[in-house]
Amino acid sequence: MTSLLNHKPTLDGGPLSQTRLGLEGCDAEAWIVVDSMVDGLAMGGTRMTPGVTEAEVAGLARAMTIKLALAGLPVGGAKAGIRPRGGATTDRDQVLRSFGSAAAPLLHGGVYLGCDQGTTHDDRDVFLAAAGYDVRNRRGASRLQVDWRELWQHLTDITGFGVGTATVSALRAAGRTGPQRVVVQGFGTVGRAAAAFLAERGHRIVAIADIEGTVEDPEGLPVPALLSATDRAGTIDRTALPECVRRSGPADRRWLQVPADITILAAGADAIDEAAVPGIDTAFVIEGGNMSCTPGARTALHSAGVCVLPDVVVNVGGAAVTACVLAGVAPSDLPVAQLEHWLREWIGNKITQNCEAITQLFAAADPDPVAALLRARRGAA
């Protein structure tokens, strides 16, 4: 079996292919970028936002290549982007169906596309159905006792689970014991799961930022109550908050200045840029989203003594589930509860190994821990 880490063109050169799709009858445009393929397989999510660009999709596809390589999975990296133009005649389901029809040759040719920012599991099901694609029919995939949708119903929190696992792994590698102060930026599916994971393990969630701003309490926010008061989009009902909780608006970006041991980024890209770095009061930045820090911010944070755990070792859970099934890494014909347990354990172990290694490389003053880890894995492959 070919190792992606030895598949040098995908790591050192440009993408294998960039395809612009024609979406018939839709006021939208779309692209699929395949950065690499391993044993005829590539995968990545489908981003559907008003501002997504082909260049952004290409960057995300490259990150997927590195992410899957570091997890030791024999699957290449890809990504799709759909940009609605906002026309009055644009119908979301029509766009998704048209995208699925146009993407069908690539899907059936080994390029799996899941969901990402702006798309849900239900959206994925719409475009996969339009393409006539069922992961269970792919030769070499793990045999599932349940359909794809039912498996994912058991794993909706898997990316947040990975973010929480990454955080405790980094703390352990740094020798930090006892409760830590945590700021969570973004309270969608990933942010909520990560906050619950860490609160259950005794850590203190001192601030949470959503689209309406920041809520904070240095003594620790009541996470279970906040989860109950948060809608599916990740917005907290301020009327349900205790009086002791401080509130600030989105323009303040107060979450950047809240003193913390850990800052988890679980929203959009470029949440921290270089200009924001001087005001940050934290020891660890955990990138729970894709490209949560700009490249300049990562460098500046490193210089300031802040350990950054990048998205390619943190935001792995959902991708790893899919890749384990697509490549037949996960055992076949397990009851869904046993398969869920196997996947969580496998993913947790991979994230732990990588995050401990990144933390140790940071402590050793390595200027680019991800590149160093890739070199080490390439040498061992």
Residue ranges of alpha helices (H) inside the chain are: 8-12, 54-70, 92-108, 121-130, 148-153, 158-173, 189-200, 223-228, 295-303, 311-314, 317-326, 336-363, 369-380
Residues 209 and 352 both lie in one domain: yes
Please state, in angstroms and rounded to a whole number, the distance separating the CA atoms of residues 61 and 35.
Answer: 6
Residues 95 and 185 both lie in one domain: no
pTM of the model: 0.90
DSSP state letter for 269: T
User: Tens of pLDDT along 178-226?
Assistant: 999 999 999 999 999 999 999 999 999 999 999 999 999 999 999 999 9
Residues 100 and 179 both lie in one domain: no
Residues making up the chain, counted from first to last: 381
Q: Tell me the average pLDDT of the chain.
A: 92
Residues 218 and 308 both lie in one domain: yes
Q: Which two tokens stand for residue 91?
A: 């119908």
Residues 300 and 166 both lie in one domain: yes
CATH number, domain of 107, equals 3.40.50.10860
Mean pLDDT of 225-237: 93
Judged against a pLDDT cut of 50, whether residue 6 lies above it is answered with no
Residues 101 and 190 both lie in one domain: no
What is the structure's pLDDT at 9?
A: 40
User: Tens of pLDDT along 28-82?
Assistant: 999 999 999 999 999 999 999 999 999 999 999 999 999 999 999 999 999 999 9
What is the structure's pLDDT at 198?
A: 98
Q: Which two tokens stand for residue 37?
A: 């393929």
Between the CA atoms of 104, 108, 110 and 116, what dihedral angle is there, to the nearest 10 degrees? 40
Between the CA atoms of 49, 78, 322 and 223, what dihedral angle is there, to the nearest 10 degrees? -40
Residues 162 and 84 both lie in one domain: no
Work out how many domains the chain is built from and give that number: 2
Q: Which residues form the domain of 51?
A: 4-66+75-133
Confidence of residue 87 (pLDDT cuts 50, 70, 90): low
